[in-house]
Amino acid sequence: MRGLRALAPLVLVSIAGCRGMQHALDPASGEAQQIGTLSWLLYGGATLIFLAVMALAAYALFGPRSRARLAHRNLVIGGGIVFPAVTLTALMVYVFSGAPDLLLRGEPELRIEVTGEQFWWRVRYLDAEGRPQFETANEIVIPVDTTVAFRLRTADVIHSFWVPNLHGKLDMIPGHPKTMHVRPERTGLYRGQCAEYCGTQHAKMAFMLEVVAAEDFDRWRQTQQREARAPDAPLLARGREVFLASGCATCHAVRGTPASGALGPDLTHVGSRRTLGAGLLPNGIGALAGWIADSQALKPGNRMPAFNDLPAQDLQAVAAYLASLE
Ligand code: CUA
């Protein structure tokens, strides 16, 4: 009894571990629900089979003399051939019968193109004809109860798009764009992660995906489509000057300014994002300044050069300007 009581906290902790913003067993869509059910079936079945095999092994090793019966041919044929064949066939039929629901679902209501890049995510919202409406990075917002088509591409090596709460993972393979359909059923903030080793910063290639109510999504989309806010204070105006004069625009775009670089993330609304460096740091003026001054110390091997020769006042101004771009 005391042993059981000691186990209780462990069980509670492991059950509590089944919820979270990056968790395949805390589904927020029908697709993830189906994957979750299959996972539980496999865990349950594997546990039962493991226990049965261990019990048989213990019996064979330490049982009474009657254990000699285990050496019978029927057990070998039944347990070694018939049982796995029947179980695995049943499992295959079950998985194939559910597979159509995990694939494409007819006409999507929203199209988003996500491109994996070393080591971040370029996100383009498309219109019904597939033309880009606006671009953002490392952050995706989608409306609840809406069929969303993710068009998945890569700009360089193989990456893998994975938001465990919404769907299984899908590799982004050079030259082979793929489409994933998701219909989220629960609002919330979820975390996505690159799931295929793609270089030194593979582990730090994350993104946030927020599922919101339809009205909130429309509001967010309208804001994102706008051009960048004009600076309304001397510090911010100075920041924009520094941004345009220091070479930032070679790689970054800020719509509404002459900056139209396309190598790095579009910064038109960078101030509205939750994180910086693809999920690396919570966004804010301090993080922006640190990232600009020496992103190579924070995320070695990323494509952004360090700007550690910027005078402190210029660095502060440019960070404040970027933070103001909400
Ligand atoms: Cu991108 Cu791993």
Q: What is the pLDDT of residues 197-220, one digit of tens each?
A: 999 999 999 999 999 999 999 999
pLDDT at 13 over 60: no
Taking only the tens place, the pLDDT of each residue in 34-62 is 999 999 999 999 999 999 999 999 999 99
Distant-in-sequence, close-in-space partners of 236: CB < 8 Å, separation ≥ 6: 317, 320, 321, 324
Q: What residues form DSSP beta bridges with 112?
A: 125, 150
Atom of ligand 1 nearest to the CA of 116: 1
* Confidence band for 228, pLDDT divided at 50, 70 and 90: very high
Which range, of 90-104, 121-135, 158-172, 213-227, averages the lowest pLDDT? 90-104
Determine the Cα–Cα distance for residues 218 and 146; give it in Å rounded to an integer: 13
Atom of ligand 1 nearest to the CA of 159: 1
pLDDT value of position 4: 58
Mean pLDDT of the chain: 92
Atom of ligand 1 nearest to the CA of 119: 1
Give the pair of three-digit tokens for residue 249.
Answer: 């625009």
Taking only the tens place, the pLDDT of each residue in 90-99 is 999 998 888 8
Q: Is 198 in the pocket of ligand 1 (CB under 6 A)?
A: yes
Cα dist. 319→135, 274, 288 in Å? Answer: 21, 15, 5
Determine the Cα–Cα distance for residues 8 and 12; give it in Å rounded to an integer: 6
Q: Is 159 in the pocket of ligand 1 (CB under 6 A)?
A: yes
pLDDT value of position 252: 97
**Spacing, Cα 197 to ligand 1 middle (Å):** 5
Nearest protein CA to atom 1 of ligand 1, as residue? 159
pLDDT value of position 282: 96
Task: Return the residue matching tokens 């924070």.
Answer: 298
